[in-house]
Structure formats: C-alpha cells, structure tokens
Amino acid sequence: MCGIAGAISFREDMRERTAALREMQAVLRRRGPDQQGIVTTTHAGLVHTRLAVIDPEHGRQPMTVERAGERFTIVYNGELYNTAELRHALEAAGETFETRSDTEVVLRAYAVWGAACVERCNGIFAFAVWEHEAERLFLARDRMGVKPLFYHLTDERLVFGSELKAVLAWPDVPHEVDAEGVSQLMLFGPGRSPGCGVFRGIREVKAAQCGHYSRADGLHLWTYWSLRAREHKDSFAQTAEHVRYLVTDAIERQLVSDVPLGTFLSGGLDSSLISSVASRMFQKEGRVLPTFSVDYQGNDKYFKASKFQPNSDPAYIRQMAAYLDTEHHWTVVENDALVQALYTATEARDLPGMADVDASLLLFAGDIRQHVTVALSGECADELFGGYPWYRDPEIRAAYGFPWSQSTAYRMGLLRPEVADVLAARGDVDRAYRATLADTDTLPTDSADAVRMREMMRLNTDWFMQTLLDRKDRMTMWNALEVRVPFCDYRIAEYLYNVPWEMKEHGGYEKGLLREAMRGYLPDEILWRKKSPYPKTHDPAFRTAVTRELEARLADPQAPLWQLVRRDALERLLYGDEDVQWYGQLMTRPQTIAYLLALDWWMVRYAVKVVL
C-alpha cells in the first residue's frame, strides 16, 4: 500500500508548485516510508509515497509507460489480486513488462483498455493516471471502497490525495466546516455520507467510481459497478459449495506478498477462518503463520456479558492459536496509552473516530508492524452474510433509520439551539437514509421481506462497512501496515446480494451459511460460536480518564466545542447514568465522551473554522 496525491491545473505551471507537492508528500510519508517520488509536467503534479510489498526493487512510482504515441504516468495505492490473469491478457494484446509489480499491470491495463480497465480488476485500489499528450487525468477507486481517495475541485485546479491531510496540505484548500460538515460530525459521526469529505469543498471519490478530469470537460465521475438484483437459482448445497470456493479463493489470492505476512485473530468466526485457510497454505510451504490478537487492560476483571457480546475473546484466541499452531502475538492495551492514542488516532483519521476502538487498533497495528508488513483481517463478513443483530432481530430490522445509529434525537439534543435549527432544516439523516433505500436494486418478484433484506445489505455496505474500512485503512497505514480484507472481495458481495435470507441464516444461526460452507476449517466451538464484535474497553477507568480530559479542555470558555454543544446537555453526558448509544453498542457513554473530546482537539489541531 501507498499514499498518492497530486494537483492538476490548466491555469498555472505545476513545475513551479513543487513546494506544495512536497508538503502533500510529507504528510503521507507514514503510508509509504520505503520510497518517495514526484513527477511534474506543465499542468500536472503527481505525488507518491511507497510501502513496498510486491517487487520491492522495481515497482517504483510514479511509473510511466508509452503506448501508441501517448505517455501514461500512474500513482497507485492498492493491491491487485488477479495480477496474473490481467498480465496474461495484456501480453496476449502485445504488451511487454519490465517489472513484476501490480502497478505496471494496472498502468498498462489503462493504456490498453482505457477506463474499462477497472471493470477487469479484482483488488483494493485508488489510483490516478495522467495522459501527457491528451492532458487528461483518470481517477478510480475499487468497487467496495477499501482504499480512500479525496479531492478538492475549484475553477483553478483539482487537488487529490489518499487522505484528507494531503488535500488540506495544499495552500488554497480552506480548513472550514459548513452546515454539511457539522451535520456529518454531529449526526453521522464517526460515519460519513458516501462522497463527503466533511471539510467544505472536499469530496471523496465514492466506492466503484471512476472518471476523467480535463480542460474541456472538467471533472466527470461515474459508477462502474453496483450490487444488482438477480434470481438465485442455486440449491442450498450448491450455494454453500460456491461460498466455500469464493471465500477460500479470496483468502488465497490475498496471501501473495514479497514481504512478511500474518493475520488478525480475534477468536471469532471470520478472522479464525482467514487464519485457518492461511495457515494451511503456510504449512504446505513449510512456514508458520504469524497471528495477532488484542485485549485491554482490566477487561479480564470488568468484562460484562451482553446481548451483543455474550463472552470475551481470549479463551477462544488461545484455542485457535493452539489449533493452528501459529506464531502468536498478543497486544494488551493499557488505559493511559489508550486515552493518549485517541489524539493520534484522530490525526491518523483526520476526523474524530470510533474512540477506543480506533485508538486500540492504532496501537495494535504498531505492534503488528514490528513483525509483518501485511496482515489479513475479517472485516465485511457481517455486512455480507448478515451477522449483525439488526439483520436478525425483526423489531430492529423493521425500524426506520440507520439501525446502528438510532440516536439522532439524542445527538440533536446536545446541540446549541441555533445549530440544531440549521441541521433540522437540512434533514440530512432522513434524506440519506431514504436515498439509500431508493437506490437499492430489487426484483419484481421479491417479497416485502426480501426487499428489506436487500435494503439492509445496501445500508450496511454503503454506510456501516465504510466506517469500518475508514478505520482499518487509517489506523493501520499510519503504521505502514498493509491490511487486506478478503471478505470484501466484490465477487462475494455480488453473490451474497442475491442469496435468500433463509439460506444466510441456515439452521437459525447468524451467518449459518458461512458456517456450513466452511465446515472442516475450524473446531466446532469456534465454528458455531456466537458473534462477538471488535473488543472495546470495559474498564471504568477509561470513562474517568476521558471525562477528566474533556473537563480540562472545556474549562476554557473559548474551547471550540462550545460553538456546537449545550453546556447542560454535555454535563448530563459527563455525569449522568442513563443509557447512551451514540453509534450502537460500539459507542456507549464512555466512547461518546471520548468522541467529543477528540472533536474538540481536532478543531484546534486542524484550525477548523465553523461557517454555518
């Protein structure tokens, strides 16, 4: 993985803007510490920071090739999982290769097939290609939105980058948040609306979007892929067999690496399946798989079982590590470190995030990076196979609104009246929810329940999953750790979109189809274990610490958070005991306090100006 950035302007000479380009490169260096490069032409500046994973010696970027009288230069962040197939097809079309890198495959694919190349790619990516003679830029992002790509467009120029901080590093991009941005922070956060960059004027290329920017036509983006409804004709046995193939093939494809590789291991179904498939391949090659787990100081004492998390992970982790005979590593996050990491995690994400869940992953990824450069993780299985409670609970499933964030009224109650009035008039949450339902593809023969399950999958893939992918990318790439998510293979998403719910919930189990399909890979205690989410801290010391931190910041009457929140409402949050679920069970009262703490710090750190 890498960091990419750049600026295109048809009104100035970009060869004279190298200082600004170098600043963009500097803020992305954590994403790519192995090599840096900048290419400038009269109207284009392309920036790259490289984390070398495939062909470390030869895959340097920006990379340029020539074909049919045109020169193409690429900056690319990602991994291509069907490199061999595309290379073979391109060689058949007459292309010859100078490296083993997937970067060159993507670049030559664009040179030969143009924008249609993205439809042939199986991978996680965000990239930009500059056509030197045509003076045209091509931007693209992978189907599932695993790799990020932000941009800022004015009449003067287009500025783009892997992270918000890279776009903000350009001198003319304002650090301002308008009504839309405040709505994102206070009503959607830690999520974001697809395509929204929170800062005024900054947008994000959406998942499965690509497009061109040129002098004549400006910026034109389009969607090249989406989840489409089709009749599912496979029997349950055929469905399970195909799921087994898709899952194992996705995992095996993503084990290709020229640098050390390991897996996350939580003791739950998803990471355990990935670790099991990976371990079998490692054993065939005479290698031992490194696996990695995280826990929190005090959770052994303070963990309390709940509807959402019936048991803790450590015993299951130890069982899986022994079952697979892996080289296992533990990270135990201490409370003091966790609280301080909230600030670093906010800088890594460029926005307030999921509190201790973000901060612990950032610390965890730093430990993992001491052992491997690449790791596989189990995100996205729950969104596709229906593992979350809101899929399975009929009452939650039928409720109006985003099921993991039924807190809009509570959030509005925190706001100053003048801010609440502006956001109420906009109606962003309601509009976004309705738009997602309207964009859900269905069949005329679908029952009302089948339509709702398709809507639930779109809500999850377009919203909740994107929040988790944001978190995974920023927290790990801050540590120059490349994390791959095999369950996010678009082929799995396409197939599962049309599998009936009765099959997904086979035997009455959450993700029953996946469990049945992957029999033989896990001990029964793990295969049939009830879902357990990514762990959060249960130690009351965390709430005490973040409360004190926020009290100290808000002792300043000029603290920026006072521009948004009411004092009485904030005091009830800090000192009350009623149930608070800011973002489902992942963010209850302690995490909500931590979110607001991070928000206040972020507004100072990023010199944010609120313009309602």
Catalytic residues: 2
Q: Is 507 exposed, middle or buried (0-12, 13-18, 19+ CB in 10 A)?
A: exposed
CA distance 3 to 397: 39
Residue pair 338/283 in contact (Cβ under 8 Å)? The answer is no
Strand partners, 66: 71
Q: Which of 153, 126, 130 is nearest to 140 (CA)?
A: 126
Burial of 308 (0-12, 13-18, 19+ CB in 10 A): middle
Q: Would you list the DSSP string of 289-345?
A: -EEEEEEETTHHHH----SS--S-SHHHHHHHHHHHT-EEEEEEE-HHHHHHHHHHH
Q: Which residue has the tokens 């896990």?
A: 522
In degrees and rounded to multiples of 5, residue 551 shows phi and psi of -55, -45
Residues 40 and 47: beta-carbon distance below 8 Å: no
DSSP string covering 206-236, please?
A: PTTEEEEEETTTEEEEEE------------H
Q: Which two tokens stand for residue 468?
A: 């988790």
Query: What's the rounded Cα separation, in Å, for the pair 138 and 210?
Result: 7
Rounded CA gap, 454 and 459, in Å? 9
> Assign residue 143 a region: left if phi > 0, alpha if psi is -120 to 50, beta otherwise?
alpha
Give every strand in the sheet of 482-484, ordered side by side: 327-333, 290-296, 261-264, 374-376, 482-484
Q: In the structure encoding, which two tokens stand for residue 604, read together?
A: 């100072």
Residues contacting 219, CB < 8 A, separation 6+: 151, 153, 158, 211, 212, 213
The SS3 of residue 50 is strand
SS3 77: strand
d(CA 229, CA 23): 45
Supply the angle between the helices 465-477 and 335-349 in degrees, to the nearest 10.
Answer: 100
